[in-house]
Amino acid sequence: MIGFYLPILLFIGLVVTATQSSELQPDRWLGDLAYPMFLLHFLCAGIIRLPLPGLLPLGEVVLAISFLCTLALSVGLVRLQSMTIEPVRSRMRRWVG
């Protein structure tokens, strides 16, 4: 039943996060994480299965480990992008506009 109720809890968390007005802009941060998560989730699941071939491919353990791995890599990529690419993009926006 967790597969039924977990999306509802995640949606409620997203709504609460998006309606809060703060300087951190959590909705933008979640949006920045969406594409790296999409790109990396399948890769991380495959990497997790390599050293642990006995796990069920659709089991909860693989799901939890690959989600944490995907989240960590996605946060790292977003931070790397914000430190390297975002300053260049900001300079180009000032130059063009």
Residue 89 domain flag: yes
The model's pLDDT over 59-82, given as tens digits with 9 standing for 90+, comes to: 777 778 888 889 899 999 989 998
Instruction: Provide the domain count of the chain.
Output: 1
Q: Is residue 21 part of a domain?
A: no
pLDDT of 4 > 80? The answer is no
pTM of the model: 0.66
Compute and round to an integer the Cα radius of gyration of the chain: 17
Higher pLDDT, 97 or 88: 88
Residue-wise pLDDT for 16-55, tens only, equals 766 666 666 767 777 888 899 999 988 888 888 888 777 7
Residue 86 belongs to a domain: yes
Q: Is residue 11 part of a domain?
A: no
Whether residue 36 is contained in a domain is answered as yes
Give domain status of residue 41, yes or no.
yes
Q: Cα–Cα distance between 42 and 44 in angstroms, integer? A: 5
Domain carrying residue 81? 26-96
